[in-house]
């Protein structure tokens, strides 16, 4: 089974600054998908960004971008111009190419301070 | 389009009681799944379904039953609740697997406490 590791249980960043959340994973597959989900205090799981392993270009969604290093099995999330509303738990997740299940990391709690 | 809905939002049970967590989606998604989230853990897969009439076990299936009689609904049954089942439960759905269709959309969650 694939494992997903988020080595930073908690992080904080000041408003308007940039922060990077780390994620590493272990797989023998060549093609797969990686995701970052945000879970604010409301508990809702919100998809932030999605990366397809066979695409070398890093995914970007507005202030959110990833640094996908396939050989290193690393998938970090960069949040630029942090906003108070970015305060949340962030989960990294892995999915096989034709699989249905998501394997989640344990999450990183991000606090954005004024 | 309501997306994925779950009821109830909160529930307290006594050990040994049974209950059903409801999940419905109106996006005509084939794949539905149940996860549980415990403190300090990510989400772990309990059961999943790839279509009406087809279900399978995930990582932590013990103590839970599921069935899928329609595309829209995927209830999770606790037959005899135990304190170890205290958790937040999420239902999710996706159009399918692979390609661009495997992005999972989550319901709002059910917080269950078993005393």
pLDDT digits (tens, 9 = 90+) for B85-99: 999 999 999 987 655
Query: Comparing C-alpha atoms, which of B64, B72, B7 is closest to residue B36?
Result: B64
Q: Do A44 and B97 touch (CB under 8 A)?
A: no
Query: Comparing C-alpha atoms, which of B48, B30, B49 is closest to residue B99?
Result: B30
- Average pLDDT of the residues in B52-72: 94
Q: How confident is the model at residue A1 (pLDDT cuts 50, 70, 90)?
A: low
Query: Comparing C-alpha atoms, which of B23, B19, B36 is closest to residue B93?
Result: B23
**First CA to last CA across chain A, in angstroms?**
41
Q: How confident is the model at residue B41 (pLDDT cuts 50, 70, 90)?
A: confident
Which residues are A50's β-sheet partners?
A35
- CA pair distance B12, B68, nearest whole angstrom: 25
Residue A52 has pLDDT above 60, yes or no: yes
Average pLDDT of chain B to the nearest whole number: 92
CA distance A59 to chain B (A): 14
Give the residue numbers in B contacting A (CB under 8 Å), as ranges: 31, 33, 35, 40-45, 48, 50, 58-59, 88, 90, 92, 94, 97-98, 102-106, 108-109, 111
Q: Provide CB contacts within 8 A for A97, sequence distance 6+.
A: A29, A31, A32, A33, B98
Nearest to A101 among B45, B103, B106 (CB): B45
Residue A100 has pLDDT above 80, yes or no: no
- Contact assessment for residue A69 and residue A51, using Cβ atoms and an 8 Å cutoff: no
Nearest residue on chain B to A32, alpha-carbon basis: B98
Rg, chain B, Cα only: 13
Q: Which residues in chain A have Cβ-Cβ distances shorter than 8 Å to B41?
A: 106
């Amino acid at each position: 089974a694939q494992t997903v590791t988020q080595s930073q249980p908690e992080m904080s960043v000041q408003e308007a600054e940039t922060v990077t959340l780390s994620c590493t994973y272990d797989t023998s597959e060549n093609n797969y998908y990686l995701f970052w989900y945000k879970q604010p205090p409301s508990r809702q799981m919100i998809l932030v960004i999605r990366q397809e392993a066979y695409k070398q270009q890093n995914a970007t969604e507005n202030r959110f971008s990833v640094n996908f290093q396939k050989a290193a099995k690393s998938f970090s999330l960069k949040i630029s111009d942090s906003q108070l509303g970015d305060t949340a738990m962030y989960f990294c997740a892995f999915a096989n190419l034709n699989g249905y299940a998501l394997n989640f990391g344990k999450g990183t709690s991000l606090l954005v301070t004024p | 389009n309501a997306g994925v809905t779950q009821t109830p939002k909160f529930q307290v049970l006594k050990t040994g009681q049974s209950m059903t967590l409801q999940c419905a989606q109106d996006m005509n998604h084939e794949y539905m799944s149940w996860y549980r989230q415990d403190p300090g853990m990510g989400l772990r897969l309990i059961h999943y379904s790839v279509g009406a009439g087809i279900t399978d076990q995930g990582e932590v299936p013990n103590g839970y039953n599921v069935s899928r009689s329609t595309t829209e609904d995927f209830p999770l049954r606790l037959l005899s609740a135990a304190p170890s089942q205290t958790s937040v439960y999420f239902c999710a759905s996706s159009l399918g697997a692979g390609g661009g269709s495997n992005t999972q959309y989550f319901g709002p969650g059910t917080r269950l406490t078993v005393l």
